Structure 1
């Protein structure tokens, strides 16, 4: 009888040593469901944040272009582009009026990794600064819509 009890205890301990395949599958499914719920709630916020960052960058660049104009009495040409805000372009009529450290430290990229576009004269204002949106092409709707200083 003693041997039977000891064998029963050993058998019971062996059953407690790990998880069954069914238990592991249930845990994996639960983790998958939680990950899906989190992604559905986080991704729209990320898209909105990217659009807001692009809007803020366009405003910053717009202010820098206006400061450039006030100092040098003209907007940067299309050839000079937004690079004129970082370092003095060649051929300035009054280079001493250009700010020593430039008008911004570096040119930002839009949240989708593309360069901001500059047009002078602009189609919608004196000059246009804009991002082409998530698709990197003119026009579009939603995330793909252009974001510029005209909005």
Structure 2
């Protein structure tokens, strides 16, 4: 007899031990992973959007402190046309300016990579600073809500 007609018991045992995952086992694992992601995913996304809102509020407070320093040095807040850029670069004709009042010497964008809005005089006081939120447009709700210094409401008071 040749070796091709006889099965080697050692090689057969080795093949049985090298068995891989079945399709059913793979589907069960994929289903379990999908369920876990379905339960955890929305919470993670919610935390991310909340952290962007908190970061915007902290930045607004930083702008407020910088604006107060500008006011102490110059005797007025920047005009709307000067904007927040007056905190980073000396506006023309302001000899009392002792800035830059922002770290890095530049005005950062909001967490959604949109410029902050500055108005002077403002509807709520000597100035308004706000981010239009995730949608970058005035108004909105949820993650698209406007973030105004001290509040999270629409800039139109809605």
Fold match (TM-score > 0.5): yes
User: Any residues of structure 2 matched to 1:1-151 within 5 Å, and which?
Assistant: 6-7=8-9, 10-17=11-18, 18-92=20-94, 95=95, 97-99=96-98, 101-105=99-103, 106-151=106-151
* TM-score (normalised: structure 1): 0.84
Structure 2 CA distance for aligned equivalents of residues 143 and 56 of structure 1: 16
Structure 1 CA distance for aligned equivalents of residues 7 and 36 of structure 2: 44
Q: Contact conserved, 1:47 with 1:143, CA < 8 A, in 2?
A: yes
Shift in CA distance, 45/150, structure 1 to aligned 2, threshold 3 Å: closer
Q: Indicate the structure with greater helix content.
A: 1
Higher relative contact order (CA 8 A, sep 6+): 1
Q: Contact conserved, 1:124 with 1:150, CA < 8 A, in 2?
A: no
* TM-score (normalised: structure 2): 0.81
Shift in CA distance, 90/148, structure 1 to aligned 2, threshold 3 Å: same
5+ unaligned residues in a row in structure 2: which ranges? 152-158
Cα shift at 1:36: 2.2
Q: Contact conserved, 2:57 with 2:150, CA < 8 A, in 1?
A: no
Deviation digits for residues 97-147 of structure 1 (CA, Å, limit 9, x no counterpart):
222x51002322111111110001111211000000111111112211111
RMSD of equivalent CA atoms: 2.0
